[in-house]
Structure 1
Amino acid sequence: MKRSTILLALMASLGAGASSALAASPVSSAAVASNSAGAQQFKLSNGMGLIVQPDKRAPTAVHMVWVRVGSMDEVDGRSGLAHALEHMMFKGTATVAPGDFSRKVAALGGQDNAFTNRDYTGYYQQIPSGKLEDVMRLESDRFANNQWPDSEFKKEIEVIKEERRMRTDDNPRASLMEQLNAATWQASPYHRPVIGWMGDLDSMHPDDARQFHQAWYVPENAVVVVAGDVDVDKVRALAEKYYGSIPARALPERKPRPEPLQKGERRLDYKAPAEQAYVVMSFKVPDLRNLVEPKDSDKDAMALLMLGSVLSGYDGARLDRQLTQGANRVADATFSGSSVVNRGPSTFLLGGVPSQGKTAKDVETALRAEVARVAKDGVGEGELERVRTQWQASTVYERDSVFGQANDLGSNWALGLPLDTNDKLLSLMKTVTAAQVQAVAARYFGDDQMTVATLVPQPLTDADRAAQKRSGAAAKDGAVH
């Protein structure tokens, strides 16, 4: 959902404990937070959040509801529930028939969709601004009153299984990443795939989804985000009318589930029909938790973000230049990057595809050599300045889109980040020195915190090729429900 490598890394997924507690206040109270772009944050009378970002350039608006629940809130044996419930949220209420929600939004001249990841679930509608009240009425109804017959769930779970087959089972690299996550994390719920293990989908019952909705879809655990050609006071009044009247309920206790210290290298080979090998290394790294008074671990997380973008954040970056170009190239493609802003633990990934005549081990060795080179020789100030410029340009570009603004504000809230996150991150980036980037390259890339997954190609049949072609088309399509 973000437009640059570093932005992807930053917003990938902050601990729930880092979320600021905002005192409940009635609709007539002042905003509890604001930012330089004009966004204002409020608390509805039932504890639900509201963020409004006026943008008068066009008569359109984006309306979103973000729920701070994702696959990390599931339990073993019930993987995939957050995503399954996202699908079921389109299957009706007492007043809206199954499948009618999107048709009603389309009739208003809008479009809608939803998404689920490890940390949160989101729903959105992009509509003419004059239709905002209509979508608020629809969305608040399904948030509070989602209901459907068992038959709808039984049909939809088969759709989800097919989605898993197309996006994961028939995609060797996606399957490899699933296996890498499972090997990297033991106690952390991040070891489960967002879409769920197939066995869990097979045994999932309609009441599992209903109970998940009852537990997590509560006002205190959600925020309404509205951006576009709107009046702040009118949006607050509508939000209180449609969302503020939803009864407040207590949230379940969230267990911290800390990951135990890894004390040795982990490796796995994954055999699948494929044309080329593929290798990905996962290194456990610090989280970015505090943007106001960063600790040493926060500073290291920022330096790791910078390192990831120095290595592969732009055309001709270090990995591209050293590994994929010239007569001695070892890789057809490479990547690097860290996910340090999550509700759960963080990693730094290095990966690549061997070029003809080279092996996955050759790529692994070359990737680690580039990090070792940074640890030994450091980086140039010009490289860091390029990363900062990219981040600043991406932030400006993001603000040029009404959807981008709403999406940015919602994901920040879901991850426990303040409204002025982008400004704070840019300020922190300006403080990261070349010496800090060199230091993290030396500190976090040893064997003991590393997990390596290698795709071992197996012979391809015509059926395999057809399945992988469908998988690629599904990934390109990008539909999320």
Structure 2
Amino acid sequence: MGGKSYIFSDSLQKDAGLPMFQASSYGTQPCSTPSRSGTLTKIKLLGALLMALALSPLDTLAAAQTSSPARLAYHGTLDNGLEIVVVPDRRAPVVTHMVWYKVGAADEPLGKSGIAHFLEHLMFKGTDKIPAGEYSKIVARLGGQDNAFTAQDITAYFQRVAKDKLPKMMEMEADRMANLKLAENDVLTERKVILEERRSRVDNDPSSLLQEQMMASLYTAHPYHTPIIGWETEMKGLTREDAIAHYKKWYAPNNAVLVVTGDVEPEEVVRLAKETYGKIPANPAVGAPRKRPSEPEPVAEKRVLLRDGRVGKATLERYYTAPSFNTATNGEAEAMQLLGRIVGASNTSRIYNKLVREEKKASAASAWYSGLALDNGRFGFYAVAAGDNKLEDIEASIDAVIDEVIRNGVTDEELERAKTSEIANLVYSSDSQQSLAHTYGWSLATGRTVDDVEARSERLKAVKREDVQAVAAKYLKRKRSVTGYLIPEPSQVAKVDPRPASAGGTLH
């Protein structure tokens, strides 16, 4: 049985404050925000509780804990370098346990694309203590759920279980962090699984093929130009030795972040972590900041046209390179986040109003900002043609919206509405222990800090109208973009000879 997994593309991110993804790195659009309830009162109470806990002794880890008025999470580091984040939420006797490795598809050796995702599958194959294929079965028998996912910058594994099962989850996850066993037959079988996954998710989906080609065009030197799932020609050559080399190089406590949210006490999580993960030695060859090829300053816009008989409606997509939350300065990422909401994140946005309501050129239209990456972020537009409208006309309308923002900026009303929506999303996400685990884990695994995560609302509040206008003028330049057209093409239907059948015969 192959390991269950998702391939997440952090670049298809609608709400940069909360990872919200489809179970595919190639989905046309990010999925919508789940419906959640939450209140600021709960958050303030939780913050006060965590501050009190932070003042209690936690052995050698106490020195790593800092406190602030908005602090929700406990954060510390074991002696072997494993980072720990704990966010108590005692409304239900369940916990979410996640391990985030600071390695993804963008860290793969040349010619080995897909190895990060391949190893993620193979991590379910077992150890000396757990037979191959039994990992998820054990979790299920304990009444829990588990899965894993790969992105350009991270690989993560998670379980959601009753709180009394947490010790077992930590024992099992620590075991496969250090003691993975790979039989040759298991590797060959799983390689067939990932190749079939590529065929079903990418090769059989024209929109996924378009996005793959657009990413390959957008980035010249940076490894974000390679798909997370890998190129088929390279995936076919991945071996057991490749997987073991990737495992030994990157999977170590000093290259990981442990996040536990739910009905837990920080002291208890730290004790369990020391008894399990704490026994694994650090790898001195890993843990330093990752160094990747720098992307040169773009000099020419790029275009990708894909014609496919499987396409029902013509579609336009455009990506611009932009800073990520990790690389942006002076609040630019927050300004981009608010720009995305104003321009295209809802059915009251400028793009939707112009293309769908007023001009009726498109049946769907949106814009988004993706800022969760370690290196570069993206700003994007998406539209589906209505009727026989041409993509060239839709593109002209999108350009008009962009030009209007660059020339005249946004209104006070638009900015305040966008801030309210984005901050509300942060509050709602804090009401879900799984969302909290994703937010803290993804942030720390891509260069940010707990304080950075918990100051997001204040940074959003600080954005001014001129900041939004400035990032639009700076980053929404055509030379920084790739525009993709997905165009329906008539299928080549077999022609039937219209001549009558010979006497006594039947024409089929």
User: Which of the five TM-score ranges fits, normalised by the shorter chain?
Assistant: 0.7 to 0.9
Partner of 1:275: 312
1:239-250 pair list within 5 angstroms: 239-250=273-284
Q: Which amino acid aligns with 1:275?
A: G
Report the secondary structure of 2:279's partner residue: coil
SS of the equivalent of 1:66 reads strand
Please show how residues 324-343 of structure 1 align to structure 2 within 5 Å. 324-326=356-358, 328-343=359-374
Please tell me the residue identity of whatever aligns with 2:112: R
- Name the CA shift for 1:301/1:8 in 2 (closer, same or farther; >3 Å): closer
Report the TM-score, using the length of structure 2 for normalisation.
0.83
Q: Shift of residue 77 of structure 1? A: 1.0
What is the DSSP-based 3-state SS (H/G/I as helix, E as strand, rest coil) of the residue aligned with 1:115? strand
Could you say which residue in structure 2 is the equivalent of 1:306? Answer: 338
Q: Which residue of 2 aligns with 1:125?
A: 159
Counterpart residue type for residue 336 of structure 1: A
Post-superposition Cα deviations, 1:230-281, rounded to whole Å, max 9, x if no partner, equal: 1211111110110011011123574331001111121221222211222212
- Please, which runs of 5 or more residues in structure 2 have no aligned partner? 1-7, 22-57, 495-508
The root-mean-square deviation of aligned C-alpha atoms, in Å, is: 2.3
Q: Kindly tell me: are residues 67 and 152 of structure 1, through their superposed partners in 2, closer, same or farther at Cα, counting changes over 3 Å?
A: same
Partner of 2:63: 30
The CA distance in 1 between the partners of 2:190 and 2:493, in whole Å, is 29
Map of 1:176-187 to 2, 5 A cutoff? 176-187=210-221
The residue type equivalent to 1:32 in the other structure is: Q
Q: Distance in 1 between matches of 2:378 and 2:77?
A: 33
Contact 1:275 1:460 in 2 (8 A): no
| Whole-Å separation in 2 of the counterparts to 1:344 and 1:300 | 14
Unaligned runs of 5+ in 1: 14-24, 464-481
**3-state SS, counterpart of residue 52 of structure 1:** strand
Q: Percent identity?
A: 35
Counterpart residue number, 1:384: 415
Change (3 A) 1:423 1:280: same
Q: Do residues 317 (structure 1) and 331 (structure 2) align?
A: no
- Give the residue type in structure 1 aligned to 2:317: V
Asked if 2 retains the 8 angstrom alpha-carbon contact of 1:12 and 1:339, the reply is: no
The structural deviation recorded for 1:12 is 8.4
Asked if structure 2 preserves the Cα contact closer than 8 Å seen for 1:65 and 1:225, the reply is yes
Q: 2:267 corresponds to which residue?
A: 233
Pick which of 111-120 and 225-234 moved more: 225-234
Question: Is the partner of 1:276 in helix, strand or coil?
Answer: coil
Taking the aligned partners of 1:5 and 1:264, their CA distance within structure 2 comes to 25
Match of 2:500 in 1: none
Among 260, 282, 289, the residue aligned to 2:296: 260
Cα deviation per residue 1:165-212 (whole Å; 9 max; x = unaligned)?
Answer: 111111111110110000010110100000001111111111111110
The residue number in structure 1 matching 2:285 is 251
Residues of 1 paired with 2:234 and 2:172: CA distance? 31
Give the SS at the match of 1:412: helix
Partner of 1:371: 402
Counterpart secondary structure, 2:426 = helix
SS in 2 for 1:283: strand
In structure 2, give the amino acid aligned to 1:54. P
Q: CA deviation at 1:447?
A: 2.5
Among 317, 325, 330, the alignment partner of 1:288 is 325
- Give 1:92 deviation, angstroms: 0.7
Tell me by how many angstroms 1:74 deviates: 0.7
86-95 vs 335-344, greater mean Cα deviation: 335-344
Structure 1 residue 48: deviation in Å?
0.9
1:51 is the counterpart of 2:60: no
Contact 1:10 1:339 in 2 (8 A): no
Instruction: Name the SS for the 1:338 alignment partner.
Output: strand
8 Å Cα contact 1:53-1:228 kept in structure 2: yes
**Matched letter for residue 319 of structure 1:** I
Q: Name the CA distance, whole Å, in 2 between partners of 1:462 and 1:220.
A: 58
Q: CA deviation at 1:420?
A: 3.2
The answer to whether residue 249 in structure 2 is matched with residue 215 in structure 1 is yes
Is residue 300–residue 436 contact of structure 1 (8 Å, CA) maintained in 2? Answer: yes
- Contact 1:27–1:237 at 8 Å: present in 2 too? no
Q: Residue 20 of structure 1 corresponds to which residue in structure 2?
A: none
Q: CA separation of 1:53/1:9 partners in 2, compared to 1, >3 Å: closer, same or farther?
A: closer
**CA distance in 1: counterparts of 2:260 and 2:493, whole angstroms:** 48
Deviates more, 1:445-454 or 1:362-371: 445-454
Give yes or no for contact 2:13–2:20 (8 Å, CA) kept in 1: no
Number of the residue aligned with 2:52: none
1:448 and 2:479 aligned: yes
Q: Which amino acid aligns with 2:423?
A: Q
Contact 1:9–1:338, Cα closer than 8 Å, also in 2: no
Q: Secondary structure at the match of 1:411?
A: helix
1:410 — aligned with what?
Answer: 441
Give the direction of change, closer, same or farther, for the CA distance of 1:256–1:207 in structure 2 (3 Å limit): same
User: Which of 439-448 and 54-63 deviates more?
Assistant: 439-448
| 2:15 aligned residue | 7
Give the number of the structure whose alpha-carbon radius of gyration is greater. Answer: 2
Cα distance in 2, alignment partners of residues 267 and 9 from structure 1: 30
What's the secondary structure of 1:448's corresponding residue?
helix
Higher relative contact order (CA 8 A, sep 6+): 1
Q: Residues of 1 paired with 2:493 and 2:277: CA distance?
A: 52
Aligned to 1:16: none
TM-score (norm 1): 0.87
SS in 2 for 1:41: strand
> CA separation in 2, counterparts of 1:108 and 1:12?
27
Q: Distance in 1 between matches of 2:20 and 2:109?
A: 22
Partner residue, 1:479: none
Letter in 2 for 1:30: A
Alpha carbons of structure 1 residues 136 and 460: separation in structure 2 relative to 1, 3 Å: farther
Q: CA deviation at 1:443?
A: 2.8
Task: Measure, in 1, the Cα distance between the counterparts of 2:319 and 2:120.
Answer: 29
Deviations 1:133-158 (A, max 9, x none): 01111111011111120101111111
The one of 110, 121, 127 equivalent to 1:93 is 127
Matches within 5 A, 1:160-175: 160-175=194-209
**2:61–2:78 CA contact under 8 A, matched in 1:** no
Cα gap change, 1:77 to 1:99, in 2 (>3 Å): same
Give the residue type in structure 2 aligned to 1:387: A
Instruction: Give, in whole Å, the separation in 1 of the partners of 2:235 and 2:281.
Output: 31
Which of 41, 50, 65 pairs up with 2:75? 41
CA distance in 1, matches of 2:172, 2:319: 42
User: 2:141 and 2:304 mapped to 1: Cα distance?
Assistant: 50
Question: What letter is aligned with 1:436?
Answer: D
Please state whether the residue corresponding to 1:93 is helix, strand or coil: coil
Matched residues, number: 445
| Alignment-mate amino acid for residue 283 of structure 1 | Y
Match of 2:383 in 1: 352
User: Per the alignment, in what secondary structure is the counterpart of residue 53 of structure 1?
Assistant: strand
Residues 105 and 111, structure 1, Cα contact 8 Å, conserved in 2: yes
Query: 3-state DSSP class of the match of 1:50?
Result: strand
**Aligned-partner SS, 1:301:** helix
CA–CA distance in structure 2, aligned partners of residues 228 and 80 of structure 1: 33
